Amino acid sequence: MKSKKFFSSLLIAALFLSSSTLAHANETEVWRFYSKNMTYKVDSGISSLMQKGWTNAVTQWNEKGMNLYSNSSSINTLGVFNEVSSTLYGRMQTWYNTDTFIVTKFQGGLNIGNSNITGSNVATSTATHEIGHAMGLKHNNNNSIMNSARNRSNLWFPTSYDVQTMTQIYAGTIGWNAIAASVYQPQVPTDVNISYDFPTTNKLEEMVQESDIIVIGEYQDGFETWNMLRDPNNSQKESEEAFVEGQLYDFKIDNVIKGNVDGGNIKVNHRAAESLTLKFSEDVEEQVTVSDLFYIAPKTKSKYVLFLKQNKELDNYYGAIEPFSVTIDDNNFVKLNSNIIGSEGTSQEFQLNNVTVHNDILDSIEDNISGMSLEELLNKVTAVGGVKGYSK
């Protein structure tokens, strides 16, 4: 594996993080398409499975009342990216104008570096979710394609809940094809929103089931950074287009609760930030760096229980799902680590080329773990099938 030092840009220091507290969990974003009619273009050169994910998603939304149609000159592109060692499924960039709240452009990606993406219906579920973002639907905790905790094999279509939201957004809009060109003015983007599809859970049981290994131990000092974004055609090669900062920590294992581990130390990867290319116009493109809002710097000299998945190809481990990390205090009580416990979401905003860039996580989870003793936690973990007994 090739690694390189990441020189965090000045930009990242200039960013600010804020927790937005919304009065109510609103199910809609501020933006929407001008009407139910909207063009898109699926990137040629992506696998037929990923193409199918996007086209199935379009069919799903169209069956529920949208009119999304393929057009080879559309600026709304649907494609793939290749980010390894991650539970990230997909991403959507939605550009819009804040005077009219009309979407000016969207760019969606399915993560082919997440091996789960090839599972039954998973690409379709992710694509339907990502198009939902562009249409103006927000993450929520209901029976919804916009729920980050959904089962992606079983829930890959807009539910009746989503149809209600969609209807609310698009009620009264008519097709722009029917409107005189003098009435419809092309919109200038003032904002761009970056949305993701990362799985989350409230359930310890699911954290256990998603993990290849569960270990107790300590992070060691220092870390090495590397580019988690790979060449789309070769996962052994890092991408030359953009940079997703992974931080690899040595983790010294005291006990293995689930799975098999060779040796006493493993490499645990933390996704910290990503740089993306934003295309402001035909001629203006810029690289920006946004934080991973789930990121929490690990502490040394503290005991952790970690719920991890293995990346066999690159020989490292990463969080199996959000949340995946529990701290053990000196009295052997545990505390769940996550930035989205009971929150209304966390966001980051900055200005560039007269455009406001928004990086959002609008999910929240319940903490059903903190305050337990370690023994109680491990009893619950081992009660889930497929986990061997904890040896003290």
The secondary element (H helix, E strand) that includes residue 357 is: strand 355-361
Q: For the segment 11-40, give every residue that binds Zn ion (CB under 5 A).
A: none
Tell the smallest beta-carbon distance from residue 387 to Zn ion (Å): 30
List all residues 6 or more positions away from 88 whose beta carbon is below 8 Å from its beta carbon: 111, 114, 196, 197, 198, 271
Please work out the total of residues on this chain that contact Zn ion, with binding judged by CB under 5 A.
Answer: 2
For Zn ion, which is the closer residue by CB, 94 or 195?
Answer: 195
In the complex with Zn ion, the residue whose CB is nearer, 9 or 121, is 121
Nearer to Zn ion (CB atom), residue 128 or residue 195:
195
Nearest residue (CB) to Zn ion, 280 versus 295: 295
Taking CB under 5 A as the criterion, which residues in 105-124 touch Zn ion?
A: none
DSSP-derived pairing of the beta strands 230-231 and 265-279: unpaired
C-beta of residue 49 within 8 angstroms of C-beta of residue 56:
no
Considering only residues 136 through 195, tell me which ones interact with Zn ion, judged by CB under 5 A: 195
Least separation, in Å, of the C-beta of 46 and Zn ion? Answer: 20
Q: Please state the closest distance from residue 133 (CB atom) to Zn ion, in A.
A: 6
Q: Within 185-224, which residues bind Zn ion (CB under 5 A)?
A: 195, 197
Beta bridge pairs of residue 172:
none
Q: CA–CA separation, 88 vs 360, rounded Å?
A: 14
Residues 228-267 that bind Zn ion (CB under 5 A): none
Cα pseudo-dihedral 143, 205, 121, 32, rounded to 10: 40
Q: Look-up: residue for tokens 């980050």? A: 148
Nearer residue to Zn ion within complex by CB, 150 or 303: 150
Pairing between β-strand 37-42 and β-strand 77-81 as defined by DSSP bridges: parallel
State in angstroms the smallest separation of the CB of 359 from Zn ion.
12
Q: Helix axis angle, 122-135 relative to 48-63, nearest 10°?
A: 50
Nearer to Zn ion, 104 or 195 (CB): 195
Helices (H), the chain: 10-14, 48-63, 122-135, 160-170, 204-210, 374-383
* DSSP string covering 117-133: GGSTTHHHHHHHHHHHH
Q: What's the closest the beta carbon of residue 200 comes to Zn ion, in angstroms? A: 10
Q: Specify the residue, 140 or 310, whose C-beta has the smaller distance to Zn ion.
A: 140
What's the closest the beta carbon of residue 87 comes to Zn ion, in angstroms? 13
- Cis peptide before 189, with omega less than 30 degrees from 0? no
Residue type, 302: S
Tell me the closest approach of the beta carbon of residue 196 to Zn ion, in angstroms.
5
- Closest to Zn ion by CB, 137 vs 306, is 137
- Rounded to a whole number of angstroms, the minimum distance from the CB of residue 3 to Zn ion is 30
d(C-alpha 43, C-alpha 110), whole Å: 11
d(CA 207, CA 255): 18
Closer to Zn ion by CB, 147 or 337: give it: 147
Shortest distance, CB of residue 345 to Zn ion, whole angstroms?
11
Distance CA 243, CA 11 (A): 14
Q: Is 87 in the site for Zn ion (CB under 5 A)?
A: no
User: What residues have CB less than 8 Å from 95, skipping those under 6 apart?
Assistant: 103, 104, 105, 106, 189, 191, 192, 355
What's the CA gap between 221 and 327, in Å, rounded? Answer: 17
State which residue has the least CB distance to Zn ion.
197
Q: How far is the CB of 144 from Zn ion (least distance, A)?
A: 11
Nearer to Zn ion, 83 or 197 (CB): 197
In the complex, which residues of this chain contact Zn ion (CB under 5 A)? 195, 197
